[in-house]
Amino acid sequence: MAASVVKTPKCPRRGSAKEQQSKASPKSNNESNNWHWWILLASVFLITFATRFYKVTEPDHICWDETHFGKMGSWYINRTFFFDVHPPLGKMLIGLSGYLTGYNGTFPFEKPGDKYNETAYQGMRYFCTTLGALIMPMGFDTVYDLTRSHEAALLSAAYLIFDVGLLTLNQYILLDPILLFFMMGSVWGMVKISKATASGGSYSVRWWFWLFLTGTMLSCTISVKFVGLFVVLLVGLHTATELWLILGDLGQPIVETLKQIACRAIALILWPILLYTLFFYIHLSVLNRSGNGDGFYSSAFQSRLIGNSLYNASMPRDVAYGSVVTIKNHKTGGGYLHSHFHLYPKGSGARQQQITTYTHKDDNNKWVIKPHNKQRLPKDKLQLLRHGDLVRLEHLVTKRNLHSHSEPAPMTKKHLQVTGYGESGVGDANDVWRVLIVGGKVNETVHTVTSRLMLIHYLQNCALTSSGKQLPKWGFEQQEVSCNLNVRDKYAHWNVEDNEHKLLPSVSFSVYAPGFFARFLESHAVMLQGNAGLKPKEGEVTSRPWQWPINYRGQFFSGSSYRIYLLGNPVIWWSNLVFLALFVAVFLGNAILEQRRAGQARALVRSQADSEDSEPSTTDVPLCTCCPEEQQLLSRPREEHRDPLGAAAWLFVGWLLHYLPFWAMGRVLYFHHYFPALIFNSLLTGVMFHHIIQSLPRWIQHVLLGGLLSLIVYSFALFSPLAYGMSGPLANEPNSTMHSLKWLSTWEF
């Protein structure tokens, strides 16, 4: 009989008395928690809106990028097409808010510092500020759901409310408050879905609501700025992790996992894509009038814009000698072949007339096609331009010919310089170019718009190309044109856009007009190219990612007598870094400890198995059935929103996703790019504070929380003039009221 008895170790269950106490009166505890939660949420709302709407209409002049986004809002009201590197939703909402609050779209928004005077700009500021103010209540509820801690939720909300940098960014006509609102909404929805799923509420009306709300928020985030992709990645990783845990739940059939995948694919993939496409359809439908951004797009795209020279245009289909044409680089966002009377400066090749590409319509984009061996053809003689012809291109305004020679190009030194040369159309043999149709046949006629052309220099055997490099101030920041000895250069393709010739019959241009999806794809190609090529303006303050978390340098929003300076609250930003470091240390330490405990549990299981193998048993007894602690080590719970360290880990991933990619970006960067990551860091701070102090007596927890809250409120009072407006001497002057607050020499307020 002794051989049939399996002895299993008895493991005392910790905390059972506390669990019984908590189960004794769950209703009263829940009612108390709900009451506290509502009081705290109301307080967060009141304090947030009080701090955000105080002086929201001051200063009454353009601040920083209001000059861009206010202007773009005006263009939506006027239905004027423009180019921008960001998707359209944020600017459409700014325009809509202005229209609904009485703004008529006529203010020019020329430069920062210009007075608004009688312009109804207030509604657009109120709209952006409202969205920015809603971030804090969502952050409060998100942290509460992750931790079930009022202290953690309140501290995270306070870190967001009392940061003067976030306050500054929320009060103006900018994309940032709109972006941050939708980003925070995406994270809020992600946590709500997780909570509903873990509590067994899948497929309920509430579950579906949060699922589609999250998909909507994700779509809106990336429809404001492409950096919204980072929160899409976060929600995608979180969803994949949840699905993996559902798959590992042996209490659920495999069909449950497939249902969850299908539901989330509909709400978090298909629905956001549909919305994103809808936003662009509205954008392209509203902006149907020609504007200053037409030239960034293809000739066919422009033919859909009312007022553009190509809209409902009739012009010759064929190109002939004597035609006055504009020649557009065929790459995405390519400009027009352009010249003007200005010369290349000393040290940039021969001091001859500049040749560039320019993205705006201009008479300086017009060229006359001439035979290579004659000045002009007789006026009554018509000769079509064909594949392989030798030509000269004379600039209509300056009367100089398109020319190249063996001098290096000003920016791309491996290419040859292209200039305007000659007088009244008379030059030399270096003005001769061979016209080739890409994929063309002998004697094939060159057609307007549809023919892709290469211009090969007759003597140098190089291809006319647009390198994409921006010229300095002496070239008016237009794009360099050069001649590439590698004639396979993909940027060496051009097309004729405008075509004037008295002897050629005209045809309707409407046949070239593209449909919605063609314009949708081209819009993305142009935006992505423009985003990658952003360069700082002269005198503009830029920054690098290493400077952002340490609050190294701020940025002026208004530099007149009423100064606004974007800078984070140093107490909040620097303590955020402390809690970030604490998280990494605690998480790694906890991972090592759990791995050691799991090893002990596995060793215990193996020793039990060995003892049973040595003594045959007729009784099947589960291994370690009375050791719940060891079993938990081998099977982690699904309800991560009750695990503060697991919640902090997801917020840390959010911070990484919104910060690290900027290190790899070659485009110009600014201080405000860090604020999405800052929100995750501030939420992480609240969670880690709760995790660290939760084992302390309640009175000590309240003392620590009260002390930290008092410190950040006091620091907000000190630094709030940066957001609400400063006047008088700068902080570097001893008699300035802000002198004592210049803690770093790089702060310029």
Q: Are residues 274 and 309 in the same domain?
A: no
In this structure, the answer to whether residues 274 and 303 fall within a common structural domain is: no
| Same domain, residue pair 193 and 314 | no
Question: What does the buried/exposed string (b/e) look like for 277-307 if buried means 16 or more CB atoms within 10 Å of the residue's CB?
Answer: eebbeebbebbebbbebbbbbbbbbbbbbee
* Among 515-519, 604-608, 638-642, 707-711, the least confident range: 638-642
Let me know if residue 621 belongs to a domain: no
Please state, in angstroms and rounded to a whole number, the distance separating the CA atoms of residues 567 and 168.
Answer: 8
Residue 93 lies in a domain: yes
- Please compute the mean of the pLDDT values over residues 25-44 and round it to a whole number: 74
Among 521, 546, 574, the domain-final residue is: 521
pLDDT at 361: 85
Amino acid at 507: V
Residue 295's contacts (CB-CB under 8 Å, 6 or more residues apart) are 302, 328, 335, 336, 358, 359, 360, 361
pLDDT in tens, 712-722: 999 999 999 99
Looking at the chain, the whole-number percentage of residues with pLDDT higher than 90 is: 60
Query: What backbone phi and psi angles, to 5 degrees, belong to 541?
Result: -85, 115
Give all strands (DSSP E) within 349-461, no chain letters. 353-358, 366-371, 390-395, 401-408, 416-421, 433-437, 453-457
d(CA 549, CA 719): 18
Is 588 domain-assigned?
yes
| Position 531 in a domain | no
In this structure, are 198 and 309 located in the same domain? no
Residue 449 pLDDT more than 90?
no
Residue 468's SS3 state is strand
Residues sharing a CB contact under 8 Å with residue 530, sequence separation 6 or more, in sequence order: 83, 84, 85, 296, 333
Lowest-pLDDT choice from 76-85, 362-371, 552-561: 552-561
Domain's final residue, options 471, 502, 521: 521
Please, which pLDDT band fits residue 31 given cuts at 50, 70 and 90?
A: low
pLDDT tens-place string over residues 118-136: 899 999 999 999 999 999 9
* pLDDT number for residue 530: 80
Q: Is the dihedral of CA 702, 708, 711, 717 positive or negative?
A: negative
Q: How far apart are CA 532 and CA 666, in angstroms?
A: 7
> Is 210 among the domain residues?
yes
Say if residue 503 is in the same domain as residue 587. Answer: no
| 413 and 473 inside one domain | yes
Shared-domain flag, residues 133 and 201:
yes
Beta-carbon contacts of residue 309 (< 8 Å; ≥ 6 apart): 361, 498
Query: What local confidence, expressed as pLDDT, does residue 596 receive?
Result: 79
User: pLDDT tens digits, residue range 65-114?
Assistant: 999 999 999 999 999 999 999 999 999 999 999 999 999 999 999 988 89
Q: If you average pLDDT over every residue of the chain, what do you get?
A: 87
pLDDT at 200 over 60: yes
Is 695 inside any structural domain?
yes
Q: For residue 58, is it within any domain?
A: yes
CB 327 within 8 A of CB 304: no
**Confidence (pLDDT) at 162:** 97
- pLDDT above 50 for 632: no
- Quickly state the pLDDT bin for 727 (edges 50, 70, 90): confident
Residues 266 and 322 in one domain: no
Residues 198, 238: Cα–Cα separation, whole Å: 13
Both 194 and 314 in one domain: the answer is no
Residue 460 belongs to a domain with what CATH number? 2.80.10.50
Please check whether residues 343 and 214 belong to one and the same domain.
no
- Alpha-carbon dihedral angle through residues 480, 483, 488, 494, given to the nearest 10 degrees: 60
The number of folded domains in the chain is: 2
Residues 171 and 314 in one domain: no
Q: Which is more confidently placed, 533 or 244?
A: 244
Domain containing 366 equals 299-521
**What percent of the chain is modeled with pLDDT above 70?**
90
For residue 312, pLDDT over 80 is answered with yes
Domain ends where: 474, 499, 521?
Answer: 521
Per-residue confidence (pLDDT) for residue 120, from 0 to 100: 93
CA 216 – CA 231 distance, rounded (Å): 13
**pLDDT band (50, 70, 90) for residue 631:** very low
**Kind and range of the H or E element at 507?**
strand 506-508
Q: Within this chain, do residues 306 and 269 fall inside the same structural domain, yes or no? A: no
What is the chain's percent helix, strand, coil content, to nearest 5? 50, 15, 35
